[in-house]
């Protein structure tokens, strides 16, 4: 299998949503892909579907990004199956809204553990594997417009994504001498299970007047007039894993339909 691929890629949080769409793009572009996710049922099904549809192969490895050993195992599976780790996408993340004055330590720690520490560990283990194999690879992190501006009902999430932007910059400086680039992309509002849950949670806590209203009121602030489909982000991420972006590192590309203009 490795002879037919451009190399290997690991995508965390790829069972569904944005990560799945990115994994599909990598398979279509000729990479062997590890679907690295907490959810084995959806993850296995995604790996099967992408393999059936694509020219290359996707395999599932159960990963909790807060557990370094599982990230190492996913990267090792990628090297064994596809020969090397060429692209690492640190994408797993979640959100849980709480009114600003009621944010709990438990929520803060849970969100920062997955969204920020998980990205640090993913960058570290990918960097070590690429250096060991002499690969001038691409590390790409999923940030968010919430990392560029603070949202009061999900302040911990905003902090966790600002951390992703800082980690992208720090890692770019650390890994440039080895020829490894580190960039991030920052989506706006993307219609995925994460947002379906967020919309329900915001309604339940009284932050929106009706189900669906939180999402539609945000959509009204988007210059292009609609929320994103996961497919809307893939072209930009493909640019970041392709040789077209070889001279870019430490950057964050915003894909939000024109919502946060900064």
Ligand X SMILES: NC(=O)c1ccc[n+]([C@@H]2O[C@H](COP(=O)([O-])OP(=O)(O)OC[C@H]3O[C@@H](n4cnc5c(N)ncnc54)[C@H](O)[C@@H]3O)[C@@H](O)[C@H]2O)c1
Q: Which is nearer to ligand X, 29 or 199 (CB)?
A: 199
Q: Which span sits near ligand X by CB under 6 A: 58-66, 98-106, 173-181, 245-253?
A: 58-66
Question: Is residue 219 a contact residue for ligand X (CB under 6 A)?
Answer: no
Report which secondary-structure segment, H or E, holds 128. Answer: helix 118-133
CB-count burial class (<10 Å; 0-12, 13-18, 19+) for 71: buried
31 is catalytic: no
- Confirm or reject binding of residue 44 to ligand X (CB under 6 A): no
φ, ψ at 86 (rounded to 5°): -105, -30
Compute the distance between CA of residue 185 and CA of residue 187 in angstroms, rounded to an integer. Answer: 6
Question: Applying CB under 6 A, which of residues 10, 22, 26, 38 lies at the interface with ligand X?
Answer: 38
Q: Which residue among 83, 93, 97, 122 contacts ligand X (CB under 6 A)?
A: 93
Q: How many C-beta neighbours within 10 Å does residue 28 have?
A: 15
Question: Could you say whether residue 114 binds ligand X (CB under 6 A)?
Answer: yes
- Residue 194 within binding range of ligand X, rule CB under 6 A: yes
Q: Residue 144 burial (CB < 10 Å; 0-12/13-18/19+)?
A: buried
Query: Which of the 8 DSSP states describes residue 227?
Result: P
CB of 178 to ligand X, least distance (A): 25
Shortest reach from residue 140's CB to ligand X, in Å: 12
Q: Which helix (H) or strand (E) holds 138?
A: strand 138-142
Backbone angles phi, psi at 235, to 5 degrees: -60, -40
Output the smallest distance, CB 29 to ligand X, in A.
Answer: 19
Residue pair 56/1 in contact by the 8 Å Cβ criterion: yes
Q: Considering the rule CB under 6 A, would residue 15 count as an interface residue with ligand X?
A: yes
190 near ligand X (CB under 6 A): yes
94 binds ligand X (CB under 6 A): yes
Kindly tell me which residue out of 7, 8, 13, 25 binds ligand X, with binding defined by CB under 6 A. Answer: 13
SS3 of 155-217: HHHHHHHHHHHHHHHHHHHHHHHHCCEEEEEEECCECCHHHHHHHHHHHHCCCCCCCCHHHHH
| Residue count, binding to ligand X (CB under 6 A) | 29
Of 24-32, 92-100, 127-135, 243-251, the window that binds ligand X (rule: CB under 6 A) is: 92-100
Place of tokens 């999430």: 157
Binding mask 149-188 for ligand X (x = CB under 6 A): --------------------------------------x-
Catalytic residues, by residue number, are 157
Which parts of this chain interact with ligand X (CB under 6 A)?
12-13, 15-19, 37-39, 63-66, 91-94, 114, 118, 142, 144, 187, 189-190, 192-195
């Amino acid at each position: 299998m490795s002879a037919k691929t451009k190399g290997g890629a690991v995508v965390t949080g790829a069972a569904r949503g944005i990560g799945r769409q990115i994994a599909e793009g990598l398979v279509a572009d000729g990479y062997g892909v590890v679907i690295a996710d907490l959810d084995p049922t959806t993850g296995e099904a995604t790996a099967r579907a992408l393999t059936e549809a694509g020219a290359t192969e996707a395999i599932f490895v159960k990963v909790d990004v807060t557990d370094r050993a599982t990230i190492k195992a996913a990267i090792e599976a990628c090297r064994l199956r596809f020969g090397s780790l060429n692209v690492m996408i640190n994408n797993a993340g979640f959100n849980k809204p709480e009114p600003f004055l009621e944010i709990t330590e438990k929520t803060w720690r849970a969100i920062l553990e997955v969204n920020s520490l998980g990205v640090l560990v993913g960058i570290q283990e990918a960097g070590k594997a690429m250096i060991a194999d002499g690969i001038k690879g691409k590390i790409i992190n999923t940030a968010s417009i919430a990392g560029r501006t603070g949202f009061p009902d999900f302040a911990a999430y905003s902090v966790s994504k600002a951390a992703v932007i800082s980690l992208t910059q720090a890692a770019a400086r650390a890994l440039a001498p080895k020829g490894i680039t580190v960039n991030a992309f920052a989506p706006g509002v993307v219609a995925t299970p994460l947002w379906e849950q967020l919309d329900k949670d915001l309604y339940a806590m009284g932050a929106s007047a009706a189900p669906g209203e939180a999402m539609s009121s945000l959509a009204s602030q988007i210059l292009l007039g609609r929320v994103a489909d996961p497919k809307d982000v893939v072209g930009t991420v493909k640019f970041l894993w392709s040789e077209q972006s070889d001279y870019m590192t430490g950057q964050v590309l915003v894909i939000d339909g024109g919502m946060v203009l900064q």
